[in-house]
Amino acid sequence: MKRRDFLASGAGVAAAATALASPAIAQGNITWNLPTAFPKNAPGVGTNVTRFAEIVSAMSDGRLSFTVHGGGELVPPFAVEDAVQQGNAPVGHGPTYYAAGKNPAIHWFTAVPFGMTSNEHFAWLKWGGGQEIWDDIYAQRNLKGFYCGNSNTQSGGWFKNEINTLEDLNGLNMRIAGLGGEIYRKLGVNAVMMPPPEIFQSMQSGAIDAAEWVGPMLDQAFGLQKVTKLCYLPAYNEPGAGLAIVFNRDAWAEISPDLQIICEMAAQSVALETQAQFDFFNAQAMESLAADGVQFLQFSDEIVDGMRAAWLEVQDELTAASEDVARVRESYDTYLSQANAYAKAMTIPMLSGRG
């Protein structure tokens, strides 16, 4: 897949809100617009939503279908949840933390620094009470969210120069999303948020000195290796980013119970498929990038320790300011402690021992 096939963000942002909201109904069938925050054909993040739409249409025998619109085509990438909340779109797709300005607790349903792996995150949502807290928080904005995939362990970032000490971070301009941006700010970085299609151009032009995007598959697809050959691993700032399908609750109530179950199961199906996609193609891309001269480097202990200390400050500040953060953090941290003990006893030794 060529970069030009999916990096175009579209020029239809000014489309009428009524065109987004109105379903097309013919012979009892419903077709809804489904805006996503990403280029709709981007590997992993874009194909995630297109597969969701395909599965729902097939399972419902066409009774419910979606027209997927890439980020910027009908809705700006960071405004998808706003459009759904306002009823201008019945459903949307993206990482929840793009709307974290509404409620900082939303971060915990995408990713937090030094947090859970993709498997652990879904386990917490499914069995550890995470989904119930998510439902309650989203109900405040008339939304209903479903987990639909995860990027798995991500790259820590592409840097134009080596970074070995905390002093090396001071003053850098870096594209980075989520709470990772907050911890980097505490370390002296000018953390900048921008839509994914703008990352390559900003790196190439010198507007930013570093960028954290996703992982080898998507980083390669977006051409970051053409700007610098220095990639630091892993992303302590964002171990893996969850994706979500988010419905307006009024629209959700309009569809029959069987279609609701189909949507929920389609989200779970595409979550598993997307995880496998990232695992397989990240390994392929890493091998290819290394052959192309990319150096995969580890963050120094000094930088990792600085990140961890900054994260403790950030989460304590958010907890003191938000009751929603306090309760989601308590639930999340309870399972994270259990999952961490299990991983140290089982998963980490197994991975280390297999050579």
- In this structure, of 7-16, 231-240, 300-309, the range with the lowest mean pLDDT score is 7-16
Helix (H) or strand (E) holding 189: none
Average pLDDT over residues 216-223: 97
Contact yes or no for 178/160 (Cβ under 8 A) = no
pLDDT (0 to 100) of residue 89: 98
Average pLDDT over residues 293-313: 98
| Whole-angstrom distance, CA of residue 220 vs CA of residue 53 | 26
pLDDT at residue 174 is higher than 70: yes
pLDDT at residue 21 is higher than 80: no
pLDDT at residue 107 is higher than 90: yes
| Whole-angstrom distance, CA of residue 275 vs CA of residue 254 | 31
pLDDT (0 to 100) of residue 49: 98
Mean of all residue pLDDT scores within the chain: 93
Phi, psi of 229 (to 5 degrees): -105, 15
Average pLDDT over residues 55-75: 97
- 36 DSSP β-pair partners: 93
- Residues 181, 185, 188, 194, CA torsion sign: positive
pLDDT at residue 207 is higher than 90: yes
pLDDT at residue 144 is higher than 90: yes
H helices present in 86-148, as ranges: 118-127, 130-139
3-class secondary-structure state, position 219: helix
Burial of 13 (0-12, 13-18, 19+ CB in 10 A): middle
Domain 9-150+240-281, CATH among 3.40.190.170, 2.40.128.130, 3.60.15.10, 3.40.640.10 = 3.40.190.170
**51 vs 14: which has the higher pLDDT:** 51
pLDDT (0 to 100) of residue 355: 86
Task: Kindly report the pTM of this predicted structure.
Answer: 0.91
pLDDT (0 to 100) of residue 27: 58
pLDDT (0 to 100) of residue 23: 53
Phi, psi of 17 (to 5 degrees): -60, -35
How big is the CA angle at 78 (ends 246 and 56), to the nearest 5 degrees?
30
Residue type present at position 187: L
Q: How far is CA 265 from CA 55, 58, 60, 89, in A?
A: 9, 12, 12, 21
| Whole-angstrom distance, CA of residue 77 vs CA of residue 149 | 18
Q: Which residue has the tokens 């991983």?
A: 343
Confidence grade of residue 28 (pLDDT, cut at 50, 70, 90):
confident
Average pLDDT over residues 301-312: 98
- In this structure, of 21-30, 81-90, 132-141, 333-342, the range with the lowest mean pLDDT score is 21-30
pLDDT (0 to 100) of residue 11: 37
pLDDT (0 to 100) of residue 41: 87
Phi, psi of 126 (to 5 degrees): -80, -40
| Whole-angstrom distance, CA of residue 66 vs CA of residue 31 | 5
